[in-house]
Amino acid sequence: MHPATRPSAILAVVISLLHTTACCGDTTVEPFHHTDQFEVTVEGLVARRGNLDPMTQEGCEALCTSRLFLLEAPTVHMCVATLDSTEPDASEDTGDTGDTGDNRSGRGKVQIDCIVSGFERCVGGRYSAALQARASGRGADPVAAWLAREACGEAGSVIAFRRLARELEALGAPASLVARARSAMRDEVVHARMVGDLARARGGSPDRVAEAPLPLRSLEELALENAVEGCVHETFAAARAAWQASYASDPSVRSLSAVLAADEAAHADLAADVHAWACSVLPPPDAQRVEAARRRAWAELAANPVPVDATSARALGLPDAIAHRRIVGALIEALAA
C-alpha cells in the first residue's frame, strides 16, 4: 500500500481540513433530533429486502431507522411517505411483489421525511461480535455521558483486539499482524483507563463490558467485521479524535484526543493491512463481498452525521454535520487515491 493511501494519512487530511474550514470552530448546532429525507425506489412499492412497504407507517419507520445505524434505540417522531412517481410494471415475470392491483404496482419512487431521536452509537471504540453489547454509559450531563460511552467503547476495544489477535493467529495470518493486534490491545487498555478517568472526573459512569461466547470465526467473517469496524469506524474515530484535539473547548479533552488520534490512526493502518491480507487470501467472490462491505460502510457513515447536542459539540469538539461530511468525504477520497 502506498504510504499516501494509508489510513494514518488521515491526520494529514484532517489537518488540511482544519486549515480550510472556516466554520468549524463555530459549530452549527445539530439538534439531538435527526431529520432525514430520502427517496426509495421500490417495486410494487414493497422493498423486496425486508418486505417493507414504505406507504405503511410501520414500513416508513423501519426504512427510516434502518438508515440511522449511528443511533441506538431510535424513536421515530414523524415519518411521512409521499408517492413521487410510478412507472407501469414493465415485466410480467416479476413474481409476487405485493401488488395490490391499485396504483401501487410497478416501480415507484417514494419520498420519505422523518424525524428521529436517540442516543448516539459510540464509534470511538472498535466494536466486535465478541462483545455482548455496544458501548454504553451514563452521566449527569451530555458531556459526562458521552465520555462514559467512549470509555466503555475503549474497554470494548481491548476485547476486540484480543479476539482479533487470537483469530488472526488461528487463521495463519502473518506474525506481524498478530503482533500489531496485540500491541493495539495494549493501547486500548491505556485508552480505557485515560478516558474512564476523565469520564468519572466529569461525573460519568461507563458501563462494564463483557465478552460474548463466540467460536472462532471464518476468515470471511473476521474480514467483514474488520472492514466495517476497523477500516471505516475506527478510521473515522481517529479522524474525529484529531478534530477534537483542535476544537474541544475542554483542555483535558484536547490533550486526551491528541493521544487517541495518533494511536487510533495506527489501528486504522492495522485494519487496512488486515483487509489487504484477507482479500489476498480469500476466494475472489468472498473478497469482493468484504470490499463491498467496506465501501458500503463508508457510504453509510457519510450519509449519517452523528447528532450531537450543542453543549457536547463545544466541550468535546465534535464535528457538526457539515464537518462530519467533509471529514468522511476527504477520507474516502484520500483512501481511494
Residues that bind Fe ion (CB under 5 A): 154, 188, 191, 264, 267
Q: How far is the CB of 302 from Fe ion (least distance, A)?
A: 21
Taking alpha carbons only, the member of 256, 258, 255, 259 closest to residue 196 is: 256
Q: Which is nearer to Fe ion, 67 or 191 (by Cβ)?
A: 191
Instruction: Tell whether the torsion through CA atoms of 109, 111, 114 and 119 is positive or negative.
Output: positive
Strands (E), the chain: 34-43, 71-87, 107-120, 137-139, 204-206
Identify which of residues 65 and 257 has a Cβ nearer to Fe ion in the complex.
Answer: 257
Question: Judged by CB, which is closer to Fe ion: 167, or 188?
Answer: 188
Q: Using an 8 Å Cβ cutoff, are 157 and 192 in contact? A: yes
Decide whether 125 or 142 has the Cβ nearer to Fe ion: 125
Q: Which is nearer to Fe ion, 116 or 122 (CB)?
A: 122
Q: Whole-number minimum distance, CB 235 to Fe ion, in Å?
A: 10
First-to-last CA distance in the chain? 11
Query: Measured from the CB of residue 188, what is the shortest distance to Fe ion in angstroms?
Result: 5
**Closest approach of Fe ion to the CB of residue 231, in Å:** 12
In the chain, the amino acid numbered 188 is: E
CA distance 122 to 192: 14
Q: Which residues pair with 117 in a beta bridge?
A: 75
Least separation, in Å, of the C-beta of 193 and Fe ion? Answer: 11
Residue 330 CA to chain centroid, in angstroms? 16
Q: Are strands 137-139 and 204-206 parallel, antiparallel or unpaired?
A: antiparallel
